[in-house]
């Protein structure tokens, strides 16, 4: 009877647990991508790590599916449904983005590997780490200012990534590089920037929820 009651009114913490798991998986995918970048260029572990990135993407998709299903069968939720959906969707795009980047690394010629890409991946990892911490605050929102500080950190990372993107493109367009290299690196830069943007979107949802329920 208690389980049925919880199912009807949504007083348990299952949505928080699912969202936290989704945030952790997003961070995990960024960590795997860091490892994959280090193995790019034909090392024996590359394919195994790429598959780990694919598994992370599938885990995230499953988590989002479970969240969607439970939203359909739960009468009342601890926070607004649209906020749960928005956060879940933003988080799901991170592993999807990291896997796309991994696919590009698998076909990218080794000589086109860039330390700038490594820097962008590190920025992505840092952003997902902050999003994990922010998502964990949803169970009990105590200090909106701390959540705002974390949100501003993610915004800073996203802004830095945007400026870095402009510099990278300027160097590609104005530098002495082949058209092939421009296409390959531009694609990688844009995918990384977009994935960092998804972290910002997730952080924004958490901050808005904090303001709403504080």
Q: Between vectors from CA 100 to CA 98 and to CA 104, what angle results, nearest 5°?
A: 115
Please name which of 11, 110, 104 lies closest in space to residue 53, comparing C-alpha atoms: 104
What pLDDT score does 1 carry? 39
Q: Which CATH architecture has domain 2-213?
A: Up-down Bundle (1.20)
Domain locations in the chain?
2-213
Condensed to tens digits (0 to 9), the pLDDT of residues 168-203 reads 777 777 777 677 777 777 888 889 999 999 999 999
Contact 90, 126 (CB under 8 A): no
Condensed to tens digits (0 to 9), the pLDDT of residues 104-152 reads 888 876 655 567 788 899 999 999 999 999 999 998 888 899 999 999 9
Condensed to tens digits (0 to 9), the pLDDT of residues 18-59 reads 999 999 999 999 999 999 998 886 667 889 999 999 999 999
CB-based burial label for 134 (10 Å; 0-12, 13-18, 19+):
buried
Please name which of 90, 67, 54 lies closest in space to residue 200, comparing C-alpha atoms: 90
What pLDDT score does 182 carry? 73
- Give the list of residues 6+ apart from residue 114 with CB closer than 8 angstroms, or none: 185, 188
pTM of the model: 0.88
Q: How confident is the model at residue 12 (pLDDT cuts 50, 70, 90)?
A: low
């Amino acid at each position: 009877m208690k389980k049925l009651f919880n199912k009807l009114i949504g007083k348990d913490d299952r949505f928080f647990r699912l969202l936290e798991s989704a945030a952790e998986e997003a961070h995990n995918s960024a960590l795997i991508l860091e490892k994959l970048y280090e193995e790019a260029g034909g090392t024996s572990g590359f394919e195994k790590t790429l598959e780990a990135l694919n598994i992370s993407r599938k885990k995230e998709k499953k988590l989002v599916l479970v969240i969607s299903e439970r939203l359909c069968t739960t009468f009342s939720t601890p926070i607004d449904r649209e906020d749960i959906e928005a956060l879940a969707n933003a988080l799901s795009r991170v592993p999807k983005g990291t896997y796309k980047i991994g696919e590009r690394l698998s076909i990218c010629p080794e000589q086109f590997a860039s330390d700038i890409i490594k820097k962008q991946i590190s920025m992505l990892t840092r952003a997902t780490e902050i999003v994990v911490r922010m998502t964990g605050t949803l169970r009990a929102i105590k200090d909106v200012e701390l959540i705002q500080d974390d949100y501003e950190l993610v915004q800073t990372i996203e802004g830095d990534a945007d400026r870095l993107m402009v510099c990278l493109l300027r160097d590609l367009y104005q530098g002495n590089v082949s058209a092939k290299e421009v296409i390959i690196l531009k694609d990688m830069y844009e995918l990384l920037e977009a994935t960092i943007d998804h972290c910002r979107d997730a952080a924004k949802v958490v901050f808005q929820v904090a303001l709403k329920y504080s």
